[in-house]
Amino acid sequence: MTENNNNAATKVRLDKWLWAARFYRTRSLSKQAIEGGKVHFAGSRVKTSKEISVGDELTIRQGSATAMTEKTIVVKELSVQRGNATIAQTMYEETEESIKRREHFSEQRKLANLARPDFKPNKKQRRDLQRFKHSQD
């Protein structure tokens, strides 16, 4: 890997770049995500030592099982040093299709949560609900 003064490289390990671009808090978390199949390069799983370059397209799944988000990004810059968040956001660009897909799923999750009440019932209301359910049986 060749580097010059401003930390620009021609190729960077995938786990280092994901950490530097602030997708994961630590390199070990980025390594676990790659090994767990949450990061794909050109539609297939990759190894942590995969070297990426500018213009490569990655698919990254983040979040919990209930709120999983999938981003398709294009690498714009390479770095092995972790900088602040504004610099990290310039290192990649999310595709238009990925943005639309994430917004669609976000709306679907919001609509699914509309069926939930705004507050929990208090103790008296819970007792009343239980009485009502038992009287229906």
Kindly report the CATH number assigned to the domain that includes residue 100: 3.10.290.10
pTM of the complete model: 0.74
105-128 mean pLDDT: 86
Which residue intervals of the chain are DSSP H helices? 14-20, 27-35, 85-89, 96-113, 123-136
Give 3-39 pLDDT, tens digit per residue.
444 455 789 999 999 999 999 999 999 999 999 999 9
**Residue 75 identity:** V
Rounded to an integer, the average pLDDT of 116-125 is 88
Q: Is residue 3 part of a domain?
A: no
Report pLDDT digits (tens) over 25-77. 999 999 999 999 999 998 899 999 999 999 999 999 998 877 788 999 999 99
24 belongs to a structural domain: yes
Strand order in the sheet with 57-62: 44-45, 39-41, 57-62, 69-75, 92-94
* Structural domain of 80: 12-136
Question: Is 73 a member of any domain?
Answer: yes
Q: Rounded distance, CA 70 to CA 40, Å?
A: 11
Q: Give me the number of domains the chain comprises.
A: 1
